Structure 1
Amino acid sequence: RWVQSCRRELLDRCLLWNERHLRHALREYERFYNRHRAHQALGQAAPLRRVPEPITDPMRIAELSVRRRDRLGGVLHEYSHAA
């Protein structure tokens, strides 16, 4: 499954220049996969990160601010709550 996800989400969307660039892209994807990407089998958590507590307060939901961080030139996106 990891190889299939890596191909679909990374390698099919990147133009890789050489082996060094490939290794860099694979390291970034591995970090993204284990720390930020949601996994259905883990209840939408990442393997190295637990699921945050749900926000149930309507006032907090209305004022929710989300920050997006692009990885690998925008191929991968990480989302987090802005402090």
Structure 2
Amino acid sequence: MAKTFPRSPSCNPHAERFIRSVRDECTNRLLIFDRGHAETVLHDYARHFNAHRPHQGRNQLAPRDAPDVIPLPAAHIARRRAVASLINEYRRAG
């Protein structure tokens, strides 16, 4: 298997984007205690990234959102703290 050079363009842009997001939004703001804590934080962030976080390439939809659903205006909003209380997720309440 051939080795790739550091910072090579188009190595794996999806993984690089995810790692950059994890660093910017999560791990640079936390003091990680041990491997179990790191795994918990990264698992929570991966769930948030794939299920809730809007992505510009998908017209501000999360990866698991259905593209044919038109969101209705919400009267009540519920907040959920995610990723060790670093990120807030908002959903329609009631």
TM-score, length basis structure 2: 0.74
- Please give the alpha-carbon distance, in whole angstroms, between the structure 1 residues aligned to 2:66 and 2:79: 19
2:30 aligned partner, one-letter code: C
Larger RCO (CA within 8 A; separation ≥ 6): 1
Query: Which protein has the larger Cα radius of gyration, Structure 1 or Structure 2?
Result: 2
Identity %: 31
RMSD: 1.6
Q: Where is the helix percentage greater, Structure 1 or Structure 2?
A: 1
Query: How big is each residue's C-alpha offset from its partner over 1:45-66, in whole Å with a ceiling of 9 and x where there is no partner?
Result: 11112355143xxxxx5x7111
What number of residue pairs does the alignment pair up?
Answer: 77
Aligned structure 1 segments of 4 or more residues deviating by more than 3 angstroms: none
Deviations 1:24-83 (A, max 9, x none): 11000000000000001011111112355143xxxxx5x711111002331121110111
Where structure 1 has 5 or more consecutive residues not aligned to the other structure, the ranges are 56-60
Q: CA deviation at 1:4?
A: 0.4
Task: Show structure 2 runs of 5+ residues with no match.
Answer: 1-16
